Structure 1
Amino acid sequence: MEDNTKKHLSNWRNHAFSANPLTVLDRNSSLARLRSFLCKTPEQLKDEQTVLILPFLHSKPLVLSPSSPPSPPTWRLAWQSLYKCVQLVDHNLLSNMVYLGHRGDTMHWALDFPTEKAAEFVSSTQKTIFVDVRRLMIGTDPSHEVGMADLSIAGQAKALLEWHDQVQFCCKCGTKALFKEDGRKKQCGNNMCKRNLFPRIDAVVIMLVIDKVNNRALLARQSQFLSHMWSCLAGFIEPGESLEEAMKREIWEEVGIEINEAVYHSSQPWPVGPVSMPCQLMVGFFAFAKSFEILVDQIELEDAQWFSREEVKKMLDYSRYKKDQKKTAFRINQLCAGAEMGKGSLPDIKRNIKGSRELTSMFVPGPYAIAHHLISSWAYCNQNSLLSKL
């Protein structure tokens, strides 16, 4: 493997949204400690630094640009003091905060603020603004440990807050559901019901289908993909299915191929999927084909093709990933400094264009996606590693 490629792969070996640096301690004691702070007056909280709150606005965390101008461009979560938050909202809203964990002696919480109150946190002087988590994901350098840690915290907070926003009422009796414990649970407000409600994970299998005989892998396109982007097959697990059964069904339904074996690769939290599914877990596998004729389900996919290992290597466009990451990070910095939100916010996107077979223009998802790690692991598998079987 080329030295330059080795460097890229080593930098991008960790999944986005994983390895959260916050430690979840005893939740009841953390909640009791928070309540003791909320009993104090704002003046008594003025110097309190052991409680930090991450403000959200419509699922977007508050971030800041840490330097002027940052080089290379980067961003950080803009934690706020309990003192400032107490001045903006009453204690009833603060009781809806979600506990994220501890770092040392400091408790970290998240709260989705009303629009008029959230505006108080946006400042071109302080270089703070609310930014979509998907944009933060694209704009994070995978080799930047601090940035990746902040991204994992933002992803977890987003998933929990979106779950609370969706679960407003008891699914059994329809009574309003109340925050309980540390925001990791809700309970029906009807004393005759008191049903406990917990966040549920939507599991998704994602598979790189491999033809070991001909040393090639199957990649597919959906109509909503970026122009010329190809990726792995994926699908939700249905009730009563095992992971293996879900893989076999999805592969057969989407491309008409049978598999006879699968190898687990890794998993990734994915809080940037559909709004209706805020807590997803992507479970990645290599799946080995025993039939090879592709029959594309035109409803699910636009196209699917076999690609040789050398062709796939050409589709791993590291310079493109780095360019998009820097461009997006720079735009986040501009937004923090007060640039108009609606212009030039992301790399140029052209959708709904059928992917051609011109390998110089084709690419696979960037290093923030588990699909990238599945594909690059197979393309550059070490002969002395477990992946030598691939």
Structure 2
Amino acid sequence: MSINLEFHAFAGNPQSSKFSFSGDTLSPSAALKTLNARITLNNADSSPSPSFKVLAFRNGRPLASSAAGSGDSPPIWRLGWLGLDDLRGILDNSRSGAELSVDSLVYLSSSAENDAVYWAIDVSDEAPELGYKDMGLCFVELRTLMVATDWSDSQAMGNLAIAGQAKALLEWHNVSRFCGRCGEKTVLMEGGRRKQCSNDSCKQRIYPRVDPVVIMLVIDRENDRALLAKRSMPMPRLYTCLSGFMEPGESLEEAVRRETWEETGIEVGDIVYHSSQPWPVVPNGIPCQLMVGFFAYAKSLEITLDKKELEDAQWYSREDVRKTLTFAKYKQAQRNAAAKVEQMCEGLGKNPSFASDLNVESADEHAPIVVPGPFAIAHHLIYSWAFSDHNVVNGVECNSK
């Protein structure tokens, strides 16, 4: 079964082209000034353009809604954008009782085409019940939405990318509350797109930084095999590519070679770039990751496992890997997660665990292992190699026209 993807999950943000801050689009500072004026004048959300749309997060979970799919299609989730009046309700009912303020808002984008300005806000410290469920909205783990997203639906993929960018920015704000140079509190600048130290003698400028992570499929050319590894995870058969953080003063290629050697004792020669993917679904404290994918060709084959990092690592033949890539099981996981989102938004279920969303263990009992789904760059690295004799672009088998 083939799929059609234009970009990786969390990439292809449809709002990213609106960041030029030129022409009819608003700069972050101008957007914040306009929003402050609207709030000060107590204008209704129906007042003249632009309109303001706010995406709320609680504990890293974006606000979402769910709608029934057409025919036998699964439910479709959507971002739970709030209007200006909803924003007033959030801020007026804050636990701290603070006056109405927009200091906690983070600018995402503005669109001349839609005549709208988009923001994100963290409401983790607000009162737990603010009428979201009455609006058919609920806070859902971004990983759950990731699994629930139909990867062939460009609009749904775009919503996932917007939510990923917003989460990364809000998490960056959470971990940069204090200046790393002098320790004083930081303040938001330019609509939250940067921060600055509040100490007049310091005034350090602080910008979001992206932590690159190398992820590589190690390949044994001579024996037509790929190296897959298992980390400590709830799914006992889930195997994936090796990966690791870069170290200071290290190139991407050097990081690939070092991480492969440290974790498996395999020496790598040639390295070929594949693609990259934003990855905001990481533990708190690492807000902005970029997965940079490579094919790495082995010069040695004997595995010496670092058991502190990995539970297992094995060479798998191309045929064995192909058996794991049965898209029916990923489609079923997507349907299950989409149904859970719908139940949560109807107030019928709790936020599911990520492991339960990925319950594909019984989908193909004859496959020796399970590999990550199409939402992960690891999947596309593995798929590209396994079907390298097919018409494949970035891990996607393209239909012939």
TM-score normalized by structure 1?
A: 0.89
SS in 2 for 1:334: helix
Do the aligned residues in 1 keep the contact of 2:384 with 2:392 (CA within 8 Å)?
Answer: no
Q: Distance in 1 between the 2:391 and 2:174 partners?
A: 49
Corresponding residue number in structure 1 for 2:11: 18
Aligned partner of 2:81 among 74, 79, 89: 79
Aligned in 2, Cα 1:191/1:304: closer, same or farther, shift over 3 Å? same
**Cα 1:127–1:300, aligned 2, differ >3 Å: closer, same or farther?**
same
Deviations, residues 74-129 of structure 1 (Å, cap 9, x unaligned) = 10001111122124315654222111112322110001125544621421x43210
What does 1:251-270 correspond to in 2, within 5 Å?
Answer: 251-270=260-279
Are 1:17 and 1:270, in contact at CA under 8 Å, matched by a contact in 2?
A: yes
* Aligned counterparts of 1:261 and 1:19: Cα–Cα separation in 2: 29
* Structure-2 separation of matches of 1:384 and 1:155: 30
Find out whether 1:141 has 2:142 as its counterpart. no
| Residues 116-153 of structure 1: CA deviation (Å, up to 9, x unaligned) | 44621421x43210111111101111011111111100
* Among candidates 221, 224, 243, match of residue 215 of structure 1: 224
- Cα gap change, 1:137/1:82 in structure 2, threshold over 3 Å: closer, same or farther? same
Distance 2:213 2:354 in 1: 29
1:137 is paired with a residue whose SS is helix
Aligned residue in 2 for 1:62: 63
Q: 1:288 to 1:76 in 2, by over 3 A?
A: same
Task: Quote how far apart the aligned CAs of 1:225 are.
Answer: 5.3
Structure 1: state its 5+ residue gaps.
none
5+ residue gaps, structure 2, are 22-26, 93-98, 395-401
1:186-201 pair list within 5 angstroms = 186-201=195-210
Cα distance, 1:343 vs structure 2: 6.7
**Residue in 1 that maps onto 2:54:** 53
Report deviation, 1:163: 1.0
Equivalent residues of 2:261, 2:267 under 8 A apart: yes
Using the alignment, how far apart are the partners of 1:345 and 1:282 within structure 2? 20
Contact 2:141 2:351 in 1 (8 A): no
Is the counterpart of residue 366 in structure 1 residue 373 in structure 2? Answer: yes
Per-residue CA shift, 1:198-249, capped at 9, x if unaligned? 1111110000001111111111111225210110000000111000110110
SS of the counterpart of 1:119?
Answer: coil
Q: In 2, Cα distance between the equivalents of 1:383 and 1:89?
A: 54
RMSD: 2.5
One-letter identity of the residue aligned with 2:198: G
How does the TM-score come out when normalised to structure 2? 0.86
Structure 2: distance between partners of 1:219 and 1:250: 14
Partner residue of 2:245 out of 227, 231, 236: 236
Runs of 4+ in 1 over 3 A off after TM superposition: 44-49, 67-71, 90-93, 114-118, 342-346, 382-387
Query: Which residue is equivalent to 2:399?
Result: none
* Cα displacement (A) at 1:47: 4.1
Q: Secondary structure at the match of 1:146?
A: helix
Deviates more, 1:330-339 or 1:85-94: 85-94
- The Cα offsets for residues 333-363 of structure 1, whole Å up to 9 and x where unpaired, read as 010011131578863778xx9xxxx852521
Question: CA–CA distance in 1 between the matches of 2:45 and 2:357?
Answer: 46
Please tell me whether residue 100 in structure 1 is matched to residue 102 in structure 2.
no
**1:341 maps to 2:341:** no
- Structural mapping, 1:256-335, within 5 Å: 256-335=265-344
Q: In 2, Cα distance between the equivalents of 1:142 and 1:68?
A: 15
In the other structure, the counterpart of 2:33 is: 32
CA contact (8 A) 2:140 2:351 kept: no
**8 Å Cα contact 1:328-1:346 kept in structure 2:** no
Aligned residue number for residue 132 of structure 2: 122
| CA distance in 1: counterparts of 2:279 and 2:298, whole angstroms | 27
Contact 1:258 1:290 in 2 (8 A): yes
Matched to 2:107, the amino acid is Y
Kindly state the Cα deviation for residue 166 of structure 1 after the two structures are TM-superposed: 1.4
Amino acid at match of 1:55: A
Query: Please, which moves more after superposition, 15-24 or 64-73?
Result: 64-73
Q: 1:208 to 1:343 in 2, by over 3 A?
A: closer
Shift of the 343–311 alpha-carbon distance from structure 1 to 2, 3 Å rule, reads: closer
Question: Counterpart amino acid of 1:63?
Answer: A
**Aligned AA for 2:242?**
L
| Alignment of 1:109 onto 2:119 | yes
Q: CA deviation at 1:196?
A: 1.0
Q: How far apart, in 2, do the equivalents of 1:168 and 1:310 lie?
A: 50
SS in structure 2 at match of 1:267: strand
